[in-house]
Amino acid sequence: MAKVKSEHKLRGGIDKKPNLILTIIGALVVMLFFGFPYLLMFITSLKTRLEVTKIPPDYFPAEPRWQNYLDVWTSEVNPASSLLATSVIAFGATILVLIVATPAAYYIARFRFPGRLVFLLLVLCTQMLQPTVLAVGLFQEFKGWQGYAVWGALILINAAFNLSFAIWIMQAFFASVPKEVDEAALIDGLGRLQTMFRISLPLVWPGIVTAIVFVFVNSWNEFAAALILVRDNSLQPLTVSMPRFLGLYVQDWQYLFTVALVAIVPVAILFGIIEKRLIGGLTAGSVK
C-alpha cells in the first residue's frame, strides 16, 4: 500500500513539473515581449547622437554614455520643471477625483433615486468625449489662466475626463458589499459618513486602487489639453516638452529616451506602493 502511494506521489510530481516549466517559459516570454521596448529605450539612452543616427545602426553603444543622465538636466528642454508640472497635475487630478467620486459612487450604490439609470448613462457618455474633441471650447474656457494657474486648469480638465470611469468602477465595488454590513454599523451608532469611511472603504480597496491607477496614468500621459493651454515652456508637462528634443536640424534621441525612462520611475513607484494596498483590500473583511 505504501509502495502504491509513493508511486502515485512520484507520478503526481512528474505530471506537475512540465506544467511548472511551461508556466515559467510563458512568463519569461511575456516579460521579454513587454520589457523589450524599455530595454531598447535604455540602450539608446546610453548612446551618443552619432551612434543613434548611424546607418546601419549599431544596436549597442561602443561605450555606454552614462553622462547622458546628467547632461539631460542642463539641456534647453529643462525636464526637471516638466517633471514637476506633470507630477503636480497628475497627483492633483487623482486626489480631486477621489474626493468627488468616492461619495458619489457610494451614494449611487446604496440608494435608489429617480433618474438613477439616466444619471449613470450620462456619466458614461462623458467618457466618450476627449480633450481633442473639445479643444476649442477648452481653450476659450481657460485661455485667461496664465502662469501656475494653468496647472489648476489642467487638474480640473483631467479630473473631469476621468471622473466618470472612477464613479462607475467604484460604485460597482460598493454595490458588491452587502447592505447588511452598513445597516449593522448604523444600528451600532455610526453615521452615514462614518460607515462609508470606516466600514465600506476598507472593503472596496481594489476598486479604489483601480480608480487611482487609471486616473493617475491618464493624467500623467495627457497631451492634447496641455499642448493647447500651456504656452510657457517652463510650465509644460513632460508629454509636451519631450518632443522638443527633436528639432528641425538636431535630433537628440538619446536625451528623449533618457527622459522617457526617468518619467517611468514615478509611475513604477506608485504601482509598488499601491500593490500592498491592493493585497490588503483583497484580504480585508468586515468581521473581526
| Domain coverage including residue 245 | 77-283
Hey, how many other C-beta atoms are within 10 angstroms of the C-beta on 284?
13
Do 23 and 150 fall into the same domain? no
Domain annotation covers residue 54: no
Q: Where are the alpha helices (DSSP H) in 177-223?
A: 179-187, 192-195, 201-203, 205-221
CATH number at residue 102: 1.10.3720.10
197 located within any domain: yes
Same domain, 207 and 133: yes
Q: What is the mean pLDDT of residues 94-98?
A: 92
> Is a pLDDT exceeding 80 seen at residue 76?
no
Residue 105 and residue 39 share a domain: no
Q: Give the residue from 123, 168, 10, 247 showing the smallest Cα distance to 2.
A: 10
Report yes or no on 265 lying in a domain: yes
C-alpha cell, 209: 486602487
The answer to whether residues 141 and 212 belong to one domain is yes
pTM over 0.85: no
Instruction: Reduce the DSSP state of residue 246 to 3 states and report it.
Output: strand
Does any domain span residue 66? Answer: no
Are 14 and 128 in a shared domain?
A: no
How high is the mean pLDDT of the chain?
A: 78
The whole-number average pLDDT for the span 100-110 is 85
Give the pLDDT of residue 280. 52
pLDDT band at 285 (very low <50, low <70, confident <90, very high): very low
Do 170 and 273 share a domain, yes or no?
Answer: yes
Residues 82 and 192 grouped into a single domain: yes
Using the structure block, give the residue that is written with the C-alpha cell 549597442: 60
Percentage of the chain modeled with pLDDT above 70 = 86
Which of residues 125 and 16 earns the better pLDDT score?
125
Domain identity same for 16 and 148 = no
pLDDT at 13 over 60: no
Examine residue 41 and state whether it is found in any structural domain, yes or no. Answer: yes
**How high is the pLDDT of residue 14?**
47
Domain contains 101? yes
Q: Are residues 28 and 83 in the same domain?
A: no
d(C-alpha 76, C-alpha 89), whole Å: 22
Residue 277 is predicted with a pLDDT of 62
Closest-CA residue to 251 (of 31, 77, 64): 77
Please report, for residues 12, 16, 23, 72, 221, the alpha-carbon distance to residue 20 in angstroms, rounded to integers and kept in the order given.
Answer: 12, 6, 5, 44, 37
Per-residue confidence (pLDDT) for residue 286, from 0 to 100:
43
What confidence tens digit (pLDDT) does each residue in 171-227 have? 888 888 787 777 787 887 777 777 777 777 777 877 888 888 888 888 888 888 888
In a domain, 56, yes or no: no
Contact 65, 47 (CB under 8 A): yes
Give me the number of domains the chain comprises.
2
Judgement on whether residues 20 and 105 belong to the same structural domain of the protein:
no
pLDDT of residue 205: 79
Examine residue 63 and state whether it is found in any structural domain, yes or no.
no
How large is the average pLDDT for residues 223-246?
83
Claim to verify: residue 87 and residue 22 sit in the same structural domain: no
Average pLDDT over residues 99-112: 84
Question: Is 273 found in the same domain as 160?
Answer: yes
Residue 258 banded pLDDT, cuts 50, 70, 90: confident
What is the percent of the chain where pLDDT is above 90? 4
pLDDT value for 96: 93
